[in-house]
Every structure is written in C-alpha cells, then in structure tokens.
Amino acid sequence: MDSASRLSTADRRRLARGLPALREADARAIGRFIDAAWAEHGLARLTQDAYRRDLEQLARWRDGAGGGLEGADRQALFEYMRWRATHGYQPRSNARLRASLRAFYAHLVRAGVRSDDPAALIDPPRLPRPLPKALTESQVDALLAAPDVEVAEGLRDRAMLELMYAAGLRVSELVNLPANAVNLRQGVVRVLGKGGKERLVPLGEESQHWLERYLAQARPQLAAGKPVPVDAQGNVPLFLTPQRHAPTRQAYWQALKRHAAVAGIDPRTVTPHGVRHSFATHLLNHGADLRALQLLLGHASLSTTQIYTLVAREHLQRLHARHHPRG
C-alpha cells in the first residue's frame, strides 16, 4: 500500500486545498500525549479533541520543520502565534492554543523527550472584558410591572423582581433568602453571599411596599395554612411556591423570561444576572460611589466592580455624542 492510499479522507481534503497532511511522527507524538493526559488526569473527551485540533494545526503549519512538533523551539511557537494573530484567529482561540501547547510540552519534559519547555514563557493573549448586558431603566420599569399581582404567584414574582433590582441580588441569593432576612422596619435585607460572607443592603420604598403586600397577601395563600418546611440550612424560606418550598433558580429564570415577553422585551436578552447588572449600572449612571457599589454587590475585590465603570462610561459617551454641540 503506497503512502497516498494510507491518507485519511480529511488529509486528502487538506491536500486538495494545498494544506500538508499530518506527518506520521507528529501524529504519534500527539497520540502519546493524548493517551498520557487521559491516563494521568482523566481528560474529558471535548478537551482531548481541542488539544488534538490545536496540535495538529501547529504540526501542519510547521510541516516537519526543525524536528516537527517535538523539536519546535520557543521562537517557532512565537512565530506561529504571530501568524495566527495576522490571520483572523480570535483571542479566546489563541488562549486555548496556549493551554494546549503548555500541556503538550510539559508532557514532553516529564517523559524525558525534551529538557526544556518552549511554551513556558508564552504570554496569554489579552482577552476582551465582556461588558454586562444591562436593561434600560424603561425596560426595567416594564419588567417590574409585568407580573399579574392579582394572583398569589404573580404578587410573589413582583416582590422578587422589585427586591432583586432594589438590592442587586444574585439569583441564588434571592431564591434562598430566609424569611427572617428582611427587616421592613429598618428597611434592610441581610444577604448571605459568596464564600458565606454576609452583607446588609438597604431597600427602597417600592421594594418594601411590594414585600409588605407579598407577606400580607400572597405568602399566606401559598402556604395554605400549613407549616412551611425548613430548607437544608434549617431556615424557613421567604419566597414560596404552591408546594411551600423556595423557588429554584431554574424556575425563577423561566418566570423572568415569561414576564419579559409580557413587557415586550426579547426574553433571550433577559437573565437574572442581567437584572443585577442593571441595578449596578443604573446606580453608577446616577452618581453612586464605586466602593459603595462594591459593598452593595458583595464583591470581594474592587476590580470586579470596576467593570461597571466601563458601562457607565459608554452611557456618558452616548449622552455626550447626542447632546454636546461638538459631540
């Protein structure tokens, strides 16, 4: 059997497009690495496939030069990264490639194939920081008004939405609130956040009003005069389903999308985290202090909160462009 007949269908297609087939030495090196990674770390199938694709692309780009994959030096890897940067590869794709290269060449060092790791000093590409997707203030108003407050579950959803937007709660914090977490007399809610850290968040008049209505009207209906079971932490949940349990995150997500559709907002653009983002963005747009916002959101680091300044800056730039005579 000649070498052409041993080519895979994929390699024949690559040859037809002028791309080199994978050399046997490189294919064996990649196979040994994947087998070792699976045996040592139980590497997931998707990760194995990603590593294989990345390494095969590099091997074809090198086409056996300088000893192929196993012989590549740091300069060769830098040149390949530079080539990708000029041929439309996205930063996230290059970040994954860096992970593939570091894993592969670290394996070669452990196996004694190489004494040095050419991928060790490759800096990760700068990834763009995703800006939070915030609703406009008018969209929030429409969303809050969407639940049917004439029924118990609608009144509960209105109270949950008002509280989430007023206090900037994470969805897990909202659905897991115990009944004793809200102090309407003092106008605060006690929130247990990430890492078990507790914070006190003030409530606005609107959220207090809807919580009072929920507690007086909807919660007794949902409890149906029966004892409310305690949760895994021994707390009685604040918000109830007709089964007298706290709503799940998934159920709240689905309810939020239903209310978004009623409000005339594309449900695909509305998430519980988006409501929290809206709380933070609107506070900054109205002049809130960044460190105060950090405390309200329960962020351990100010750098996490600072991403909202980018959103606020975009808002100010749009206002400037719209209203300034030289905008």
The CATH number of residue 22's host domain is 1.10.150
The answer to the question of residue 119 being in a domain is: no
Q: What is the reported pLDDT for 28?
A: 94
CA distance 74 to 62: 13
Give yes or no: 214 in active site. Answer: no
CA distance 157 to 148: 9
Which of 158, 259, 276, 277 is flagged as catalytic? 276
Domain boundary among 63, 92, 110: 110
- Number of structural domains found in the chain: 2
The answer to the question of residue 117 being in a domain is: no
Taking alpha carbons only, the member of 142, 151, 170 closest to residue 266 is 142
Give yes or no: 209 in active site. Answer: no
Q: What is the reported pLDDT for 117?
A: 93
> pLDDT at residue 234 above 50?
yes
Least confident stretch, 40-54, 122-136, 140-154, 253-267: 122-136
> pLDDT at residue 17 above 60?
no
Q: What is the reported pLDDT for 242?
A: 94
Q: Are residues 316 and 268 in the same domain?
A: yes
As a whole number of Å, the end-to-end CA separation of the chain is 72
Give yes or no: 323 in active site. Answer: no
Query: Given CA atoms 267, 268, 274, 279 in this order, what sign does their dihedral have?
Result: negative
Q: Are residues 277 and 225 in the same domain?
A: yes
The answer to the question of residue 159 being in a domain is: yes
The answer to the question of residue 213 being in a domain is: yes
Q: What Cα–Cα distance (Å) separates residue 232 from each residue in 43, 171, 179, 243?
A: 33, 18, 14, 16
- Token code pair at residue 24: 């046997």
Q: Are residues 44 and 103 in the same domain?
A: yes
Residues constituting the chain? 327
Q: Are residues 157 and 259 in the same domain?
A: yes
> pLDDT at residue 299 above 80?
no
Domain boundary among 110, 145, 165: 110
Mean pLDDT of 7-12: 49
Look at the pTM and tell me if it is higher than 0.85.
no
> pLDDT at residue 241 above 90?
yes
CB atoms within 10 A of CB 142: 17
Least confident stretch, 9-13, 45-49, 69-73: 9-13
- Token code pair at residue 52: 């294989």
User: Which of the two residues, 47 and 294, has the higher pLDDT score?
Assistant: 47
Q: Are residues 201 and 306 in the same domain?
A: yes
Q: What Cα–Cα distance (Å) separates residue 124 from each residue in 75, 80, 94, 120, 303?
A: 16, 14, 8, 11, 20
User: Which of the two residues, 304 and 80, has the higher pLDDT score?
Assistant: 80
> pLDDT at residue 16 above 50?
no
Q: Are residues 19 and 98 in the same domain?
A: yes
Give yes or no: 244 in active site. Answer: no
- Token code pair at residue 271: 């998430």
State whether residue 127 is helix, strand or coil: coil
| CATH number of the domain enclosing 202 | 1.10.443.10
The answer to the question of residue 82 being in a domain is: yes
Q: Are residues 161 and 260 in the same domain?
A: yes
- Token code pair at residue 106: 């670290």
Q: Are residues 295 and 239 in the same domain?
A: yes
Name the pLDDT band for 2 (thresholds 50, 70, 90): very low
Give yes or no: 194 in active site. Answer: yes
Parent domain of 95: 9-110
CA distance 298 to 302: 10
CB burial string 188-212: b at 16+ within 10 A, e below: bbebbbeeeeebebebeeebbebbe
Which of 82, 194, 313, 320 is flagged as catalytic? 194
> pLDDT at residue 293 above 60?
yes
Q: Are residues 215 and 251 in the same domain?
A: yes
Q: What is the reported pLDDT for 302?
A: 63
> pLDDT at residue 7 above 80?
no
Torsion of CA 277, 282, 288, 294, to 10 degrees: -10
Burial class (CB in 10 A: 0-12, 13-18, 19+), 289: exposed
Q: What is the reported pLDDT for 14?
A: 47
CA distance 315 to 285: 8
Which of 156, 158, 170, 219 is flagged as catalytic? 170
Q: What is the reported pLDDT for 1?
A: 35
Mean pLDDT of 27-54: 90
Give yes or no: 273 in active site. Answer: yes
Which of 273, 291, 313, 318 is flagged as catalytic? 273
Q: What is the reported pLDDT for 178?
A: 94
> pLDDT at residue 43 above 50?
yes
Q: Are residues 27 and 152 in the same domain?
A: no
What percent of the chain lies above the pLDDT cut of 90? 45
Q: Any alpha helices (H) in the chain, and if so which ranges?
A: 9-16, 24-41, 45-62, 68-71, 74-85, 91-110, 137-144, 152-167, 171-175, 205-213, 219-223, 249-262, 272-285, 290-297, 302-305, 307-323
User: Which of the two residues, 186 and 20, has the higher pLDDT score?
Assistant: 186
Q: What is the reported pLDDT for 4?
A: 36
Q: Are residues 172 and 86 in the same domain?
A: no
Mean pLDDT of 156-168: 94
Q: Are residues 294 and 245 in the same domain?
A: yes
